[in-house]
Amino acid sequence: MKTRVASLTQTALATTFALTASVVAAESCPDFYRFVDFGLQDNDGILYRGGPLLRAENFAEDRLLLEEQTECLSVWPTLTDGRGNPMPVVSTIAYDPAAVDAGITELKVRTVEGTTAAATQSATAYRRRLEEPDATVTRGDTFVCVETAQTQHFACQLVSPYDTDAPLIVYCHNHSCQLPVLAMDDRIFMSARWETDVDYINDPAAGAASMSEIVQDIYDFMSPLSSSFQ
């Protein structure tokens, strides 16, 4: 049972991230940039500059990204910011966990063909657990959590802080949690990991509250970095 459930989770997440591959060729990123551009995609799937922007530094000009993980795309010419710096079109960025805090160990922003489909795929293991005969389901106003007697896995569906219909699922095992898809719009999403000392198994309501707090912390961190996702 334990091996099977873990496999379901891993398969769902692998499929989700496989969907993020871009048909636009990758290229080297500029040496310096203050903003990244997630591009605009037309009905034919062609990507142009001028999409949602995210800051690569905060208002104190501290660098926020793990720049070696930024994936730039070959879309030219790029836009420039008010200081003349390029704003590369990207498919993936990773924020420095030290800048995010809140126990976050990984925070990435990526593109995908459709975030609702990706989020639904990431929820596959969660939904199958709900159907297990030994499932224990805990419900609240803003969450539905499930655990099974033969595993130490815990999963919850939460209310998203973004205006989207995509499901938001968090998976936890031991003291590590993963949020595979937090949809920001129809093609841009975040994924995150964090460590926690909350006892999810013995106190599901506290576990759900902790998850919701982390999701809100992520939203609060991201909000000042772009006016595109409010």
In tens, the pLDDT along 202-227 reads 788 999 999 999 999 999 999 999 98
Domain hosting residue 104, numbered range: 26-110
pTM of the model: 0.86
User: Do residues 139 and 78 share a domain?
Assistant: no
Q: What is the pLDDT of residues 136-163, one digit of tens each?
A: 999 999 999 999 877 778 999 999 999 9
Contacting residues for 109 by C-beta, under 8 A, at least 6 apart: 38, 54, 92, 93, 94, 95, 184, 188, 189, 190
Token pair belonging to 167: 């499901």
Contacting residues for 84 by C-beta, under 8 A, at least 6 apart: none
Task: Please check the confidence at residue 4 and state whether its pLDDT lies above 60.
Answer: no
Bond before 204 cis per omega within 30 degrees: no
Token pair belonging to 129: 């657990």
User: Do residues 218 and 117 share a domain?
Assistant: yes
User: Do residues 219 and 132 share a domain?
Assistant: yes
Task: Please check the confidence at residue 127 and state whether its pLDDT lies above 50.
Answer: yes
User: Do residues 116 and 55 share a domain?
Assistant: no
User: Do residues 137 and 177 share a domain?
Assistant: yes
CB neighbour class for 132 (10 Å; exposed up to 12, middle 13-18, buried from 19): middle
| The last residue of a domain, from among 83, 110, 137 | 110
d(CA 204, CA 210): 10
Contacting residues for 220 by C-beta, under 8 A, at least 6 apart: none
Structural domains of the chain, count: 2
Nearest Cα neighbor of 65 from 106, 118, 28 is: 106
Helix (H) or strand (E) holding 169: strand 168-173
d(CA 70, CA 200): 33
pLDDT over 70 for what percent of the chain? 89
